[in-house]
Amino acid sequence: MKKPFETAVPETQGIRSAGILEFIKSMQQRSIELHTMSVMRHGRQVFECYWKPYRTDVPHIMYSFSKSLTATAIGFAEQEGILSLQEKLVDLFPDECPEDPSENLKKADIESLLTMSCGHGNEIDWSDENTSPDWIRKFMHHEYMYEPGTTFMYNTAGTNLLCAILAKKTGQQCTEYLKPRLFEPLGMSDIQCIRMPDGTEMGGAGMYMTLDDMTRFGMFLLRRGSWEGKQLLREEWFEKAAVKQINTLSAAYQTEADNWAIGYGFQCWMCKPEQSFRADGAYGQFALVFPKEDLMVAINSVSFDANTLINVVYDTIMKGMSDEALPEDPEAYEKLRSVPETASVPVLWGVRSLDAENQFSGVVYQAAAGTGSFTDFAGGAGRAFRDEQELKTVSFRFGMDRAYLEVSQGDQTDTLEAGLGGEILSGQFMGQPYAASAMWFSDHELLMELRYIPAAAGARLLFDFCGDGLVITRRSTLPAAMNLLDRGGEILKLRIK
């Protein structure tokens, strides 16, 4: 049975309440959007927070944080004698190999996948990988420029190949394999993962986790495979996996971000403090593990500068830490305790236009035949599935600081509720968790920020009520430079029914 974490006042565990507050303030000042956060010291949870609309029961896309879970699955498989890290890719996938494999390809093994050093000089095309069931063949036929084990090149496809190896060896997908070995013993939820076209789980970037899942996994890493007195994964694995195995700066990988230049283990990055490392996903999905300090910090966020986020953890949360209890700081602690009560992502201003609401309320707008679904159009970074339903109609009602967007698509009709009074409202829409806020941008333009809550970001939809039509323009809440798996700039045009 899942046991809740024991909680404690930060100062009793040698960590400053003021330091956590300083971290949160610094994130606000830098426009880094926090979604969830958990701080564990000496096995006790000293802080937990969800920034509305993110919440306890909705998993969050983890992106490359998933890699550390995939590596853990490989660790269990090695422990059980299912595979060896020295097994060669050419032996594992003989049918996908070139007829005359290069010497470097012949040397590539499972361990070189774990350390991002299989020999590739760049990644196989992600679009090909995501649309073709033949991605393993593409991976094997890609040029192996470097001798395996010598040159780091960040390679998400290589992590996905680890999942394919696990499936080949066990007949199970990564999350299915981990369920009785990791997820159930730790009390984690039913972890879901996006799949590749051939059915292989995208263990390099596709898993979804709650903050509680992240915290439990982070503590499993901190305790080097031990949970409640039982050694689930032997400690020898962490002597390889959680230490620097390869330099990250190489002919194939360059970065100015200091926390990405320290080194790499088995699907985890090294951090600055001695012995520290992290599970790391795009936009700032982290489990920061500090064994010497007996500290673990889990964070979901959207950050344009994740390197700064990590450095601020060092400079605030870790500042002034002690192995012994610190003096009480009741003023800072009370402020910290109140943070979850008002924590929220930025929302649109509460701007109303009663004339516009009266004019456009109840007007039904009809989509042209063949228009894709509204939920696919709205999207969101991390929403990887598609509804593939045809949009039929859109209409609005207004009242009580609320905008009610009614959408009919396929055989479904549902209403999305958006806050018009400077707040974001959460609920189910088309069977999925969404949240929205809205404001009148002009007397004929309604701006709505719509978030699919498991995603890292959302969409800003501008509804332009013009003449006998409605034009909906979509932009991501993320700038173009940050978008990995999102779209923007699409337009829907509808006519009054």
CATH of the domain at 430: 2.40.128.20
Largest Cα–Cα separation, the chain: 73
Q: Are residues 293 and 177 in the same domain?
A: yes
- The set of residues, in sequence order, having a beta carbon less than 8 Å from that of 249 and lying 6+ positions away, is 152, 255, 261
pLDDT digits (tens, 9 = 90+) for 397-409: 999 899 999 999 9
- Measured between alpha carbons, how far apart are the two ends of the chain, in Å? 54
Length of the chain: 497
Indicate whether 486 and 377 sit together in one domain: yes
Query: Within this chain, do residues 306 and 359 fall inside the same structural domain, yes or no?
Result: no
Six token digits for residue 455:
């995603």
By CB neighbour count within 10 A (0-12 exposed, 13-18 middle, 19+ buried), where does 218 fall?
buried
The mean of the pLDDT values for the chain is: 94
Classify residue 171 by burial, with Cβ atoms within 10 Å: 0-12, 13-18, 19+.
exposed
379 lies in some domain: yes
Whether residue 486 has pLDDT greater than 60: no
In this structure, is residue 387 part of a structural domain?
yes
Number of domains the chain is built from: 2
Q: Are 79 and 234 in contact (CB under 8 A)?
A: yes
Q: How far is CA 388 from the centre of its chain?
A: 24
Of residues 145 and 129, the one with the higher pLDDT is 145
Cβ distance 437 to 448 under 8 Å? Answer: yes
Answer with the residue of higher pLDDT: 387 or 11: 11
Any domain includes 68: yes
**Chain centroid, CA 342 distance in Å:** 23
Residue 161, pLDDT > 60, answer yes
Same domain, 119 and 245: yes
Domain-located, residue 2: no
Closest CA to 35 of 435, 439, 462: 435
Supply the pLDDT for residue 379. Answer: 78
| Residue 205 domain boundaries | 10-341
**Whole-number pLDDT of residue 132:** 80
Is the pLDDT confidence value at 43 over 90?
A: yes
Q: Name the percent of the chain lying above pLDDT 90.
A: 89
pLDDT digits (tens, 9 = 90+) for 309-353: 999 999 999 999 999 999 999 999 999 999 999 999 999 999 999
pLDDT of residue 141: 97
Choosing from 287, 306, 341, the residue where a domain stops is: 341
Residue pair 365/495 in contact (Cβ under 8 Å)? The answer is yes
The residue from 311, 341, 371 where one domain ends is 341
Domain end (from 293, 319, 341): 341
DSSP readout, 184-203?
A: HHHT----EE-B-TTS-B-T
Q: Is residue 4 part of a domain?
A: no
Q: Is 342 left (phi over 0), alpha (psi -120 to 50) or beta?
A: alpha
pLDDT (0 to 100) of residue 483 = 53
Closest CA to 93 of 64, 77, 113, 76: 113
- Does the pLDDT value for residue 393 go beyond 70? yes
329: in domain: yes
Q: What is the rounded average pLDDT of the residues 30-41?
A: 96
Spatial separation of the C-alpha atoms in residues 380 and 378, rounded to whole Å = 7
**Structure tokens, 134:** 């033949």
Quote the pLDDT of residue 46: 98
275 vs 386: which has the higher pLDDT: 275
Say if residue 117 is in the same domain as residue 76: yes
Does residue 1 lie within any of the structural domains?
Answer: no
The token duo for 450 is 């719509």
- Rounded Cα gap, residues 328 and 277, in angstroms: 30
359 & 337 share domain: no
What integer pLDDT is reported at residue 1 of this predicted model? 64
pLDDT over 70 at 110, yes or no: yes
Q: Are residues 330 and 402 in the same domain?
A: no
CA-CA distance, 170 to 74, in Å (whole number)? Answer: 11
The helix/strand/coil state of 480 is helix
**In 229-289, which ranges are continuous DSSP H helix?**
235-241
**Any alpha helices (H) in 259-412, and if so which ranges?**
306-312, 330-342, 354-360, 374-378
Cα 85 from Cα 19, distance rounded (Å): 42
Statement to judge: residues 327 and 411 lie in one domain: no
Domain membership of residue 182 (yes or no) is: yes
* CATH number, domain with residue 55: 3.40.710.10
CA distances (Å), 451 to each of 201, 454, 458, in order? 25, 9, 4
Q: What's the pLDDT at 386?
A: 75
Mean pLDDT for 281-305 is 96
Same domain, 56 and 78: yes
Residues 307 and 361 in one domain: no
Res 401: pLDDT: 94
What confidence score (pLDDT) does residue 491 get?
Answer: 85
Are residues 299 and 435 part of one domain? no
Share of the chain above pLDDT 70, in %: 96
Number of H helices, E strands in the chain: 16, 21
Residue 147: the pLDDT is 98
240 has a pLDDT exceeding 70: yes
Same-domain pairing of 327 and 443: no
- Token output for 144: 């192996």
